[in-house]
Amino acid sequence: MEQDDLTASVWDDVVSPHSEPATYGNVASSSSGPLAAEFNDMSIQDEQENEDKESNEDTNHENYDHHQEEQNRPYDYNHNEDYHYNTNSSFNTNSNTFNTGKLKKEERKEHTHQLLSELTQGAEDSELLRSGTVSPKAVTSAEALFNDKDSPIKMNKAALAESENLKSPRGKIKLKTSSFKTPRPRKFNAKVNVSHLQGTENSEKNPLGPLGSESDDSKGDKASVISSSRAEILFREAEAPLYEIQHNSKTSPQKPVSDEQKNGEDARDDLNQLEITVGDPMKVGDITTAHIVYAIRTKNKNPNATSFPGATDEFITVSRRYKDFRWIYHQLQNNHPGRIIPPPPTKQTYIGRFNENFIENRRLSLEKMLNKISNISVLSNDADFVMFLTSEDFINESRERERLSGSGASTQNNDFLDNATTLGDDGAASTASLSSSVSTPIISGGGSGFMSSLFSISTKINEPDEYFSHKRQYVDELEYNLKQFYNAIELVGTQRIDMIGVLDEISLAIDELANLEISKVTTELLSAFSEVQLKIKENLDRINLQDQLTLGFTIEEYLRIIGSIKFVFETRSKIYQQYYNFNQELLKKSSQLDKLTRKYKAPVDKVNSLTFEVDKLKQKTSAFENSFNSISETIKEEMENFEYEKIEDFRNSVEIFIESSIESQKEAIELYETFYERQNLASV
Amino acid sequence: MASAVPYNPDDFENNNPFAEPCYTDDPDYEQDDENGISEQQYDQDESANENADVSNMGKLTEAELRKLLPERYTDKYSIQIRLVAIEKNKVGNPILRFDAALKGLPRFRQAKYKEVRRTYNEVVKFNKYLTISNLEVFVPVIPGAVTSYPSGGDEETKQLHQVWQEWFDRICSNPILVRDEEFVYFLESDFGYSVINSNRKSSVASGLMRKTLKQLAVPYDPYDELAEFRPMIKSAYLECQKLYRSMDKNSKTEKQLSIHVFDLCNKLSVLAQSENSHPGMKNMWEKLSKIVQIQSDLLLIESINDMGSLGDGIQCLVNDFYQIKEALTNRHLIMRELTQAETQTQTKHQNATRIKNKSALDPIKVDEAIRSLEYATKTEESLNLQVKRISGEMLFERKEIIQFTEKKFQKLLKNFTLNKVDHHRKNLKNLENIRLDIRIVDQKGGLSRLNRDNLTTLKHNLSQSQSANGDSWSSRTFRSLKKEEEERENRLEKEEEEAEITKLNEDDDDSKNVVDARNAATLLGVATF
């Protein structure tokens, strides 16, 4: 408890002299006396932190949340952060190094205990803990993140430079991950790296990083600047381990690893409940770099959500361009293999990019995409997604993330996204897509050479699960039909547009005829008729747009979703191939080993190396098998969802289509009836 | 307008003892020779009228009109033609069978002609003849034998019957056309008909000459109505042509659209077949496909109906307007001829004056000069009267045309509107049929439920919006189609009654005809060759 006292005293020391220049305090508007408020906050914090210290084991949500809120309040304003800066720096000068040493030791002990007892994550986590130098520095990042949620300060150069230091821990983790699952390592890596970024100086050697800051990366970036003061970090470390662990348990389900975790999610109350709107499309840039920027306004309705920065009932507005939407799509695809990610709208040819209709259409699709993503809890809590919604410095951050995760999201080939509308010849396109779906696994399997490509053919034939070949066929068929459907609707649409033009001509001609004033009656009659034609034209125009927006939009969206599904299938078959290849190799090696062992005199080192290889292969194989099984499970689940949503979406759009058609017919009837009545045509 | 220096025979004292005293002859004899009855009147009022005309700056007075256009002021003569049937013949050349009833017209052997059969082409020839020989009349153009409706169908026959009957009515209602002697041949000829008075060529310039003359400035027109009428008719003609083209384009686009919609229906049925996972969805797609198919059919019908109800009528108007425009051009040409004749008379007059003033008079030269002056004056007179007659008649015709156009537009638009209403009503009914099928795709009941989960047992209130007692979406009680149907029924009843009465009458006539010896004798007495 020494350090408790210490910290308390430090707080007192620090706070009292530094809160004198009350400009900072003034900003904390919540309470009457700025100074008092500051003090209050501080004291509460202290108490709580102390409490937390004492009761390491019983991590209790409420307490945590409460604490968080308390902490949030003073940090809502930048000044306050600066304020803390000051305090910390002063702290640094006053009572520095010996403190840290002590703290570290104590911390470490407690921490390891805690982790060992609390972590139920699986062997790898504890392994990590044990093998790595268990230092509480990771905690720093987590804590720091917390404190600086709303900081607009961006990751600075120092932070970026820091990332170079990440290499060593990364290596360490990579070792782990190799025994881990394939889909995951990437993800894991990303997290680790990101957390390192956040941890900055101190987190270099900290393998706990990944555990500590799964969901808080976005905040971490901002933290990096602040945490430049070492003392502060140490200070935070000293009091924070508990949260770190809590965090850990909360963020871990983000990995779509097992069903248990997913089920666990439902019970959790810190999930993001996002309310997202996309609006204000604006053209920016000069001629060469012109593009449209959309403003995304996000509100988190769940006050308990931890992974989302900012207070509830407060809109966070960021601006993103279309490219960024694609980026997040691919990033999510890479982060969550097996999930069908709601896709962004198709790319548009250069011409007509700034067409008003097109932009509106795209805006709608983008909004729908984001909302769909946020409706899937796994995705809505994804760190990348949150970053996408909130980050102020998206370009750098996204680049960094992409690099770290190795997803290559920005350069990823996304033909299927664009295929949807550039269908062209139906037959040819469909066969092409079919053949590509057949050929892609071969190509992807080709990573390990010619042999594997041969194998891949055989794997293609031996689809282990009837369900998937079935589904694949179904999806292909559905895609083809929907494309046809879409084509037909498009044709109808263009034809209608032609007709609208002709109707306009007719109305004009009639109007001119009316202007000739052949006789009073004729003039009246004809001008009324011209008006009717004009209204009919508008009616047709409206219904046409409506159809395009309901049926056309839905079909197009589903074509893109089918693209996502296909991608998921491909990912799965890739994994299967790898699994298959390794399995084959394993069989080969083990038979070799058998032969060797059966030999009377086998060279020991050879046997050893072979057994080693076999072991390794076994590990790999089982890893791939696991990931394959899990992805298969996920896909099945997703497919079921897809079916369900498909029915609902299509039913709804068809219903809207019918209802709007009915309304337009009624309007047309009404127009003609009124014309008939007004012009007294009955008496003619 | 009379020449600047009117020829007065008294100016030139005829001191030629050998000259014939012929200049007192009325020059408009040759013009109005067909009108024997009012000749006497002409003679009496001639000089007075001329003076009045001059004072009136070339405008016709009522009395003059009466004299120039006696046909307009009498209803002694009439022809009534009733189209009985259209018989099928070669494509585009059907046979028109009609009955004609005459009143007061000379040279006809019968008062009634039954079952006269003329091919369409013969009627067209007759129409052309009428146009050429009656410069003062806006002769209506017979509507084409091809309609926008499918050829040989009921609708086509109905439409043709209607428009041709209308054409006959217009021809027969014109008092000048009725007096055309060609009518006799048209009605009486036993086997086919060809224009008898074909030697009567168009008296106005045609071809290149006409084109050149049209380039010249329009001669002065004392009648504002007629002066303004031609430009109006011309732009109406152009506008109607434009309208027709747009309508045609619209119809074609609609046809294409219907093909596309049909394509959509096919695609939907394929989609329905492939949808095996959910029966509700399958059902929905199937039903939607059916609905869409009906929609495509309706579109096709509509595209035809649009053209049939409005397009064809517009085409008729286009032809009519063109004819009117040409007739007005002819008038201009004749007016120009008149001005030329006037200048001629003037020069002749000057010539005669010069000779007269010469000291040495050559009696032969004087005689010739006076003779040519007289001739020129006569031509001028005759042209003047012709122009007057044409102008007077066209004033009447103009009113009739405007009235007719008004009525025609009303009729056309009425027909068109009724068709449209019908189309949209059918479409609406068709669309409303599918609503339930969409809502029962799954348990949720679609958007109509609006997340009210516990309302699954609620009934879908999907009654048809067009019930017998009005439309559910509006408070209007009036419905064009209903009224139209009632009227049609009434008319049918009436017509039936009329038909019965006329049948009875005809029976009487027939019996009379058969028995009446006098009639037979008159028939035999007149040569039919």
A552 to chain B, minimum CA–CA distance in Å?
12
CB burial of A456-475 (b: ≥16 within 10 Å; e: otherwise) equals: beebbeeeeeeebeebbebb
Which of the listed residues A357, A379, A412 is the one where a domain comes to its end? A412
* A465 plus A577 within the same structural domain: yes
Which range is least confidently modeled, A226-235, A669-678, B91-100, B268-277?
A: A226-235
> Does pLDDT of A645 surpass 50?
yes
What is the mean pLDDT of the segment spanning B438-443?
74
Under the banding of pLDDT at 50, 70 and 90, the label for residue A309 is low
Q: Note whether A330 and A414 are within 8 A (CB).
A: yes
Considering the domain boundaries, does residue A250 fall inside one?
A: yes
pLDDT at res. B154: 87
pLDDT at res. B81: 93
Residue of A nearest to B244 (CA): A506
Task: Write out chain A residues lying below 8 Å of B425, CB-based.
Answer: 665, 669
Residues A472 and A478: their CA atoms lie apart, in Å, by: 10
Give the count of beta carbons closer than 10 Å to the beta carbon of residue B420: 26
pLDDT at res. B477: 64
Residues A639 and A335: their CA atoms lie apart, in Å, by: 18
* Partner residue facing B264 (CB), from A489, A522, A648: A489
Considering the domain boundaries, does residue B435 fall inside one?
A: no
* A251 plus A278 within the same structural domain: no
Identify any residues that bridge with B93 across adjacent strands, giving them in sequence order: B90
Q: Note whether A554 and A421 are within 8 A (CB).
A: no
Residues A401 and A197: their CA atoms lie apart, in Å, by: 10
- Residues 6 or more apart whose CB falls under 8 angstroms from that of A681 comprise A675, B410, B413, B414, B417, B480
* A285 plus A402 within the same structural domain: yes
* A160 plus A72 within the same structural domain: yes
Which of the listed residues B125, B158, B190 is the one where a domain comes to its end? B190
Element (H, E) at B123: helix B120-133
What is the average pLDDT score of chain B?
80
Residues B151 and B140: their CA atoms lie apart, in Å, by: 24
- Residues 6 or more apart whose CB falls under 8 angstroms from that of A132 comprise A172, A205, A206, A207, A208
* A126 plus A176 within the same structural domain: yes
Beta-sheet strand order (sheet of B112-119): B78-90, B93-103, B112-119
- Domain that includes residue B509, residue range: 481-529
What is the mean pLDDT of the segment spanning A580-609?
82
What is the mean pLDDT of the segment spanning A472-499?
89
Q: Cβ–Cβ of B478/A681 closer than 8 Å?
A: no
Q: Which residue would you say has higher pLDDT here, B347 or A237?
A: B347
Q: What are phi and psi of B119, to 5 degrees?
A: -75, 160
Considering the domain boundaries, does residue A175 fall inside one?
A: yes
Q: Is A584 exposed, middle or buried (0-12, 13-18, 19+ CB in 10 A)?
A: middle
Considering the domain boundaries, does residue B93 fall inside one?
A: yes
Under the banding of pLDDT at 50, 70 and 90, the label for residue B76 is confident
Considering the domain boundaries, does residue B515 fall inside one?
A: yes
pLDDT at res. B160: 92
Q: Which of residues 614-673 of A touch B (CB under 8 A)?
A: 643, 647-648, 650-652, 654-656, 658-659, 661-662, 665-666, 668-670, 672-673
- Residues 6 or more apart whose CB falls under 8 angstroms from that of B295 comprise B261, B265, B427, B430, B431
Under the banding of pLDDT at 50, 70 and 90, the label for residue B274 is confident
Which of the listed residues A231, A257, A283 is the one where a domain comes to its end? A257
> What's the domain count of chain A?
3
pLDDT digits (tens, 9 = 90+) for A414-466: 555 554 333 333 333 333 333 333 333 333 333 344 444 444 444 444 667 77
Q: Which residue would you say has higher pLDDT here, B39 or B422?
A: B422
* Partner residue facing A485 (CB), from B267, B439, B476: B267
pLDDT at res. B237: 94
A536 to chain B, minimum CA–CA distance in Å?
11
Residues B99 and B385: their CA atoms lie apart, in Å, by: 37
Considering the domain boundaries, does residue A319 fall inside one?
A: yes
Which range is least confidently modeled, A80-89, B60-69, B157-166, B218-227?
A: A80-89
Considering the domain boundaries, does residue A595 fall inside one?
A: yes
Element (H, E) at B227: helix B224-274
> What's the domain count of chain B?
2
What is the average pLDDT score of chain A?
64
pLDDT at res. A78: 44
Which range is least confidently modeled, A41-55, A246-260, A335-349, B333-347?
A: A246-260
Instruction: Confirm or reject contact between B271 and chain A (CB < 8 A).
Output: yes
The 3-class secondary structure across A339-395, one letter per residue, is: CCCCCCCCCCCCCCCCCHHHHHHHHHHHHHHHHHHHHCHHHHCCHHHHHHHHCCCHH
pLDDT at res. A131: 43
Task: Categorise residue B177: left if φ over 0, alpha if ψ from -120 to 50, beta otherwise.
Answer: alpha
* A247 plus A280 within the same structural domain: no
pLDDT digits (tens, 9 = 90+) for B80-107: 999 999 998 888 889 999 999 988 888 8
Report the amino acid identity of residue B36: G
> Does pLDDT of B116 surpass 80?
yes
Give the Å distances, CA to CA, from A259 to A104, A264, A539.
37, 8, 51
Which of the listed residues B190, B218, B243 is the one where a domain comes to its end? B190
Task: Write out chain A residues lying below 8 Å of B274, CB-based.
Answer: 474, 477-478, 481
Residues A137 and A488: their CA atoms lie apart, in Å, by: 61
> Does pLDDT of A164 surpass 50?
no
Residues B21 and A67: their CA atoms lie apart, in Å, by: 136
Closest residue by Cα to residue A411 from A339, A352, A334, A343:
A334
Instruction: Confirm or reject contact between B482 and chain A (CB < 8 A).
Output: no
> Does pLDDT of B478 surpass 50?
yes
Instruction: Confirm or reject contact between B480 and chain A (CB < 8 A).
Output: yes
pLDDT at res. B63: 81
Residues A588 and A590: their CA atoms lie apart, in Å, by: 6
User: For residue A268, what are its two tokens?
Assistant: 């959790």
Read off the DSSP letter of residue B413.
H
Q: Which residue would you say has higher pLDDT here, B438 or B308?
A: B308
Q: What are phi and psi of B443, to 5 degrees?
A: -65, -25
Most confidently predicted of A316-325, B404-413, B431-440: B404-413
* A232 plus A289 within the same structural domain: no
Under the banding of pLDDT at 50, 70 and 90, the label for residue B16 is low
Tokens 């079952």 correspond to B115
Considering the domain boundaries, does residue A263 fall inside one?
A: no
Give the count of beta carbons closer than 10 Å to the beta carbon of residue A315: 13
> Does pLDDT of B498 surpass 50?
yes
pLDDT at res. A168: 42
- DSSP-derived 3-state class of residue A294: strand
| Cα A568 to chain centroid, rounded | 16
Percent of chain B with pLDDT over 70: 75
pLDDT at res. B260: 93
* A403 plus A438 within the same structural domain: no
User: For residue A678, what are its two tokens?
Assistant: 């007004």
- A and B: number of Cβ contacts within 8 A: 185
CATH of the domain at B151: 3.30.1520.10
Considering the domain boundaries, does residue B404 fall inside one?
A: no
CB burial of A662-681 (b: ≥16 within 10 Å; e: otherwise) equals: bbbbbbbbbbbbbbbbebeb
pLDDT at res. A93: 42
| Cα B384 to chain centroid, rounded | 28
Considering the domain boundaries, does residue A262 fall inside one?
A: no
Considering the domain boundaries, does residue B92 fall inside one?
A: yes
* A526 plus A388 within the same structural domain: no
Q: Cβ–Cβ of B421/A676 closer than 8 Å?
A: yes
Closest residue by Cα to residue A490 from A535, A431, A553:
A553
CB burial of B141-157 (b: ≥16 within 10 Å; e: otherwise) equals: bbbebebbbeeeeeebb
Considering the domain boundaries, does residue B170 fall inside one?
A: yes
- DSSP-derived 3-state class of residue B7: coil
Element (H, E) at A234: helix A230-239
Closest residue by Cα to residue A224 from A200, A194, A258, A195:
A200
pLDDT digits (tens, 9 = 90+) for B292-336: 999 999 999 999 999 999 999 999 999 999 999 999 998 998 898
What is the mean pLDDT of the segment spanning A372-398?
79
> Does pLDDT of A627 surpass 60?
yes
CATH of the domain at A484: 1.20.1270.60
Closest residue by Cα to residue B251 from B315, B305, B292:
B305
Closest residue by Cα to residue A438 from A459, A464, A407, A423:
A459
* Cα dihedral A40, A42, A48, A52 in deg (nearest 10): 180
- DSSP-derived 3-state class of residue A296: strand
Residues A22 and A34: their CA atoms lie apart, in Å, by: 7
Q: Which residue would you say has higher pLDDT here, B473 or B334?
A: B334
What is the mean pLDDT of the segment spanning A117-139?
44
Instruction: Confirm or reject contact between A399 and chain B (CB < 8 A).
Output: no
- Domain that includes residue A533, residue range: 417-683
Residues found in chain B: 529
pLDDT at res. A449: 43
Residue of A nearest to B264 (CA): A488
Task: Write out chain A residues lying below 8 Å of B281, CB-based.
Answer: 647, 650-651
* A442 plus A376 within the same structural domain: no
Under the banding of pLDDT at 50, 70 and 90, the label for residue A113 is low
pLDDT digits (tens, 9 = 90+) for B349-384: 998 888 878 877 788 888 888 889 999 999 999 999
Closest residue by Cα to residue B60 from B451, B468, B385, B527:
B385
- DSSP-derived 3-state class of residue B315: helix
Percent of chain A with pLDDT over 90: 7
Instruction: Confirm or reject contact between A427 and chain B (CB < 8 A).
Output: no
Considering the domain boundaries, does residue B514 fall inside one?
A: yes
User: For residue B529, what are its two tokens?
Assistant: 């060759």
Give the count of beta carbons closer than 10 Å to the beta carbon of residue A106: 16
Q: Note whether A676 and A606 are within 8 A (CB).
A: no
Under the banding of pLDDT at 50, 70 and 90, the label for residue B523 is low
Report the amino acid identity of residue B77: Y
Which of the listed residues A198, A225, A257 is the one where a domain comes to its end? A257
Task: Establish how many alpha carbons lie within 13 A of residue B239's alpha carbon, considering only the half-sphere containing its beta carbon.
Answer: 20
Instruction: Confirm or reject contact between B274 and chain A (CB < 8 A).
Output: yes
* Partner residue facing B271 (CB), from A485, A677, A684: A485
User: For residue B333, what are its two tokens?
Assistant: 């040409």
Instruction: Confirm or reject contact between B494 and chain A (CB < 8 A).
Output: no
Q: Which of residues 422-451 of B touch A (CB under 8 A)?
A: 424-425, 427-428, 431-432, 434-435, 438-439, 441-442, 444, 446-448
Element (H, E) at B329: helix B312-357
A661 to chain B, minimum CA–CA distance in Å?
7
> Does pLDDT of A119 surpass 70?
no
Which of the listed residues B190, B214, B247 is the one where a domain comes to its end? B190
> Does pLDDT of B403 surpass 70?
yes
* A507 plus A584 within the same structural domain: yes
Q: Cβ–Cβ of B232/A516 closer than 8 Å?
A: yes
Q: How many helices (H) and strands (E) does chain A have?
A: 28, 3
Helix intervals (H) in B358-479? 363-432, 435-439
Task: Write out chain B residues lying below 8 Å of A651, CB-based.
Answer: 280-281, 284, 438, 441-442, 446
* A49 plus A118 within the same structural domain: yes
Considering the domain boundaries, does residue A268 fall inside one?
A: no
Under the banding of pLDDT at 50, 70 and 90, the label for residue A63 is very low
pLDDT digits (tens, 9 = 90+) for A167-208: 444 434 444 433 444 444 444 444 444 444 444 344 344 444
Considering the domain boundaries, does residue B85 fall inside one?
A: yes
